[in-house]
Amino acid sequence: IARSDRVKSVDLHPTEPWMLASLYNGSVCVWNHETQTLVKTFEVCDLPVRASKFVARKNWVITGADDMQIRVFNYNTLERVHMFEAHSDYIRCIAVHPTQPYILTSSDDMLIKLWDWEKKWSCSQVFEGHTHYVMQIVINPKDNNQFASASLDRTIKVWQLGSSSPNFTLEGHEKGVNCIDYYSGGDKPYLISGADDRQVKIWDYQNKTCVQTLEGHAQNVSCVSFHPELPIIITGSEDGTVRIWHSSTYRLESTLNYGMERVWCVCGLRGSNNVALGYDEGSIIIKVGREEPAMSMDTNGKIIWAKHSEIQQANLKAMGDTEIKDGERLPLAVKDMGSCEIYPQTIQHNPNGRFVVVCGDGEYIIYTAMALRNKSFGSAQEFVWAHDSSEYAIRESNSVVKIFKNFKEKKSFKPDFGAEGIYGGFLLGVRSVNGLAFYDWENTELIRRIEIQPKHIFWSDSGELVCIATEESFFILRYLADKVAASQENNEGVTEDGIEDAFEVQGEIQEIVKTGLWVGDCFIYTSSVNRLNYYVGGEIVTIAHLDRTMYLLGYIPKDDRLYLGDKELNIVSYSLLVSVLEYQTAVMRRDFGMADKVLPTIPKEQRTRVAHFLEKQGFKQQALAVSTDPEHRFELALQLGELKIAYQLAVEAESEQKWKQLAELAISKCQFGLAQECLHHAQDYGGLLLLATASGNATMVGKLAEGAERDGKNNVAFMTYFLQGKLDQCLELLIRTNRLPEAAFLARTYLPSQVSRVVKLWRENLAKVNQKAAESLADPTEYENLFPGLKEAFAAEHYLREACLGSSRPAKDYPLVTANEDRNILEEAQGYEPKGTFIPQFSKVQYPTSSVNLAVFFLHLQVFTLCKN
């Protein structure tokens, strides 16, 4: 509802959710009826705007007002594109030609004019003949060259474009005619009119007679419309009501009164159930009829649907080998089956497909599906088939449900809390204010009451699973027939709500199901956000994102395809492999024998999807066996600790990342040999160092040192040398990498005999940047006075080299060895007699500079920590 000043005309946009309302106060508004917001306003003039129309192909809004001007606006830019004086009196109506660049306007000046916007809006023709105001004009949807006009001169005239005088005149109303519309259905050459004589007349414009007069409005009739889709006539009057009439029986179906004072205008839209109404106090959009198309498919691919009240059939088989693409409209040949005596709102095949039931207007007719022969009929609010093809139930009223078998009434019963809705399938479901009750079809005994307000119920073929869909979510339940049978036998576990253990909840999903069906244990559905999904074992798989609302018709295993229809009766399909569904069903039933049998029929490219499903169900071993995706297999192999498979995959993939992951797994499994290999492949020297030291493998540390230095991994190289006590190599590494100050300090700490040489190098190097600083470096051998105890240090170094280093001791001696920080080397070395002559060897090769980031000062601490650990 949009409240506003008096609305003189309404129009609906063909693609946007927009309603155009032209107001008596001079404004024109565009409302978004989905969000209920005002999107745009055009301040046209100070006088009433009685006519306005969308021209979607030009992005225009065209208005006609009491200032006699036609104005054209671009509704995107809100710019006025054009304006011209069209008539010499108020403009009453604008009609837009569906294909040509024409508009027609009618006015109180008694004229109708044709304008061509491609010829600079020139007036191509004037239609003269009415003797009073021309209130409305409509173009014949079946012949765009013809249009009709309604006038206060009490006549209706029919005109041809190209002829300035009317083709013919229809007379019969006793007062001025306000409104007119063409019937757009194929079968009847009809016009409808409404007048100040409070009557609505239906005219056959071929034999030019009035075929029906609809009486009932208590005041001037201001608007009339044949609905472009539904078999209804909508009329509005200054009595404030809108009346809905059946377009073939002319029965008054409904009277709508929204209390918004006089009704002025009505607009329906092809392909939509929306109807816009304009009143004294604003405008309203109503939805009429059912959203869902009346359509049903049997298990062989025969589709029956209702187009208005005509029943038509299409056969998927007749398409032959036409190649089908997902989501594309199928080129189906449609066969007319005859018309139905009721206006079908739903069509449903029975389970074996021999019969179809058509329901509508409180009645049902059961036909044979082949020839559409009437087999049974009656009145019913609702009709549902049982799982057994010969049985069905009807809801006769809000309290009585009747069950039929072989077209004969078997039982009539009154459910305890009434019957607001019924659901077919394995059990008979009855909805009441108190929730849902399931009954046994055989004896109408209560099986179970569930506190839920279902919208739809879908049973799987086996009757073991059922989906109960509500307005917010859906539940998957398992029906435990054994327990039900046991309880019925011994009467245990039976309460006033039925058998407690009848159902077991398997899952709840926060999605709104529009339509659904089961294939095995997989529940396929369309959701409120237009997704085509299926649910299996707690998992949701999306098959497709749909671009509009679609309704599931069925699944044909032979085609591996799922079929859906839309409101316009287009049929599309999506591929869904039956082998995959069967496999998943077998897995859900833990029937791996069956699963293994089905597996070979699943194409290779689908295997990984199936494997992911297995993994999510917790069957990783099986998933590993099934998956064809190396990434997925590697992940699974890691999770399962399958080192051999993971190793093979890592070899094939040649990826450092995989080697690292595998190394981690190998370490966790104490497979140090493998871990070492992996770390090598991954070039993970840090990892190798940790592994080598932590496992106390001296050989490995040695090898690592060489490799690391070769590969320029200087940090690791330094560390490994140092750990092995290879101080000379440490020093050389520092020198080679131009870490001369560090080298000097290392020498000063561990290799005093080398200090002189290093300081010399350091000085030379420093001199290049700072001569003065270089000169201030003192060589201990030249300034013995500055370095007391240097001689003793040389001796200690010699002592350590000969007596200690190189003699590695087993790790088990660790507790017996005095910690380095507790030793006093100088004391130990006292009285030690050197055996050989101490001449250290040094290479003179210059190495390229690279970084050694470790500060030598921290080495003590680090080595110490490593040993302790």
Ligand X SMILES: *[C@@H]1O[C@H](CO)[C@@H](O)[C@H](O)[C@H]1NC(C)=O
- Residues making contact with ligand X (CB under 6 A): 4-5, 23, 25-27, 41, 43, 160, 163, 167, 175-176, 196, 204, 207, 209, 211, 219-220, 238, 341, 365, 374, 377, 672, 697, 699-700, 703
Q: Single out the residue of 472, 467, 416 nearest to residue 444, CA to CA.
A: 416
Cite the DSSP H helix spans in 589-697: 592-598, 604-616, 620-626, 630-640, 643-653, 656-668, 672-681, 685-694
Burial class (CB in 10 A: 0-12, 13-18, 19+), 249: exposed
- Cβ proximity to ligand X, 5 vs 253, nearer residue: 5
What whole-number distance in Å separates Cα of residue 472 and Cα of residue 528? Answer: 10
Give the number of other Cβ atoms within 10 Å of residue 68's Cβ. 18
CB of 421 to ligand X, least distance (A): 24
CB of 264 to ligand X, least distance (A): 11
CB of 40 to ligand X, least distance (A): 11
> For residue 430, what are the contacts with CB-CB under 8 A and spacing of at least 6?
401, 415, 419, 421, 422, 423, 436, 437, 438, 439
- Cβ proximity to ligand X, 154 vs 448, nearer residue: 154
Give the number of other Cβ atoms within 10 Å of residue 583's Cβ. 26
- Cβ proximity to ligand X, 649 vs 691, nearer residue: 691
Sign of CA dihedral 496, 499, 502, 506: positive
What whole-number distance in Å separates Cα of residue 23 and Cα of residue 51? Answer: 9
- Cβ proximity to ligand X, 145 vs 575, nearer residue: 145
Backbone angles phi, psi at 372, to 5 degrees: 60, 45
In the chain, the amino acid numbered 461 is D
- Cβ proximity to ligand X, 219 vs 530, nearer residue: 219
CB of 165 to ligand X, least distance (A): 8
Polymer length in residues for the chain: 869
CB of 469 to ligand X, least distance (A): 32
Question: Does an H or E element contain 423, and which?
Answer: strand 421-423
- Cβ proximity to ligand X, 4 vs 584, nearer residue: 4
CB of 204 to ligand X, least distance (A): 4
What whole-number distance in Å separates Cα of residue 527 and Cα of residue 509? Answer: 11
In the chain, the amino acid numbered 152 is L
CB of 234 to ligand X, least distance (A): 20
- Cβ proximity to ligand X, 211 vs 370, nearer residue: 211
- Cβ proximity to ligand X, 41 vs 398, nearer residue: 41
Cβ–Cβ < 8 Å for 64, 93 = yes
CB of 567 to ligand X, least distance (A): 26
Q: Single out the residue of 219, 220, 226, 223 nearest to residue 184, CA to CA.
A: 226
Question: How far is Cα of residue 81 from the mean position of the Cα atoms in its chain?
Answer: 40
CB of 211 to ligand X, least distance (A): 5
- Cβ proximity to ligand X, 34 vs 187, nearer residue: 187
- Cβ proximity to ligand X, 172 vs 435, nearer residue: 172
CB of 520 to ligand X, least distance (A): 38
CB of 642 to ligand X, least distance (A): 23
3-state secondary structure at position 339? strand
CB of 700 to ligand X, least distance (A): 4
Give the number of other Cβ atoms within 10 Å of residue 447's Cβ. 21
CB of 227 to ligand X, least distance (A): 19
- Cβ proximity to ligand X, 135 vs 602, nearer residue: 135
- Cβ proximity to ligand X, 626 vs 667, nearer residue: 667
CA trace torsion 799, 802, 805, 806 (10° rounding): 180
- Cβ proximity to ligand X, 377 vs 787, nearer residue: 377
Cβ–Cβ < 8 Å for 801, 839 = no
- Cβ proximity to ligand X, 322 vs 406, nearer residue: 406
CB of 331 to ligand X, least distance (A): 32
- Cβ proximity to ligand X, 49 vs 469, nearer residue: 49
What whole-number distance in Å separates Cα of residue 236 and Cα of residue 256? Answer: 9
Starting at the edge strand found earlier in the chain, the sheet holding 374-379 runs 346-349, 355-360, 363-368, 374-379
Rg of the chain over Cα atoms, rounded to whole angstroms, equals 45
What whole-number distance in Å separates Cα of residue 77 and Cα of residue 662? Answer: 62
CB of 374 to ligand X, least distance (A): 3
CB of 163 to ligand X, least distance (A): 6
- Cβ proximity to ligand X, 173 vs 620, nearer residue: 173
Structure tokens at 620: 């990783």
> For residue 46, what are the contacts with CB-CB under 8 A and spacing of at least 6?
26
What secondary structure letter does DSSP report for 13? Answer: -
Burial class (CB in 10 A: 0-12, 13-18, 19+), 29: buried
Structure tokens at 502: 């009848």
CB of 658 to ligand X, least distance (A): 22
> For residue 261, what are the contacts with CB-CB under 8 A and spacing of at least 6?
240, 279, 280, 281
- Cβ proximity to ligand X, 479 vs 659, nearer residue: 659
CA distance to 545, 766, 780, 848, per residue, from 775 (Å) = 79, 9, 13, 25
β partners of residue 564: 552, 572
In the chain, the amino acid numbered 859 is L
Burial class (CB in 10 A: 0-12, 13-18, 19+), 783: exposed
- Cβ proximity to ligand X, 284 vs 546, nearer residue: 284
Backbone angles phi, psi at 123, to 5 degrees: -85, 110
CB of 198 to ligand X, least distance (A): 9
What whole-number distance in Å separates Cα of residue 247 and Cα of residue 230? Answer: 9
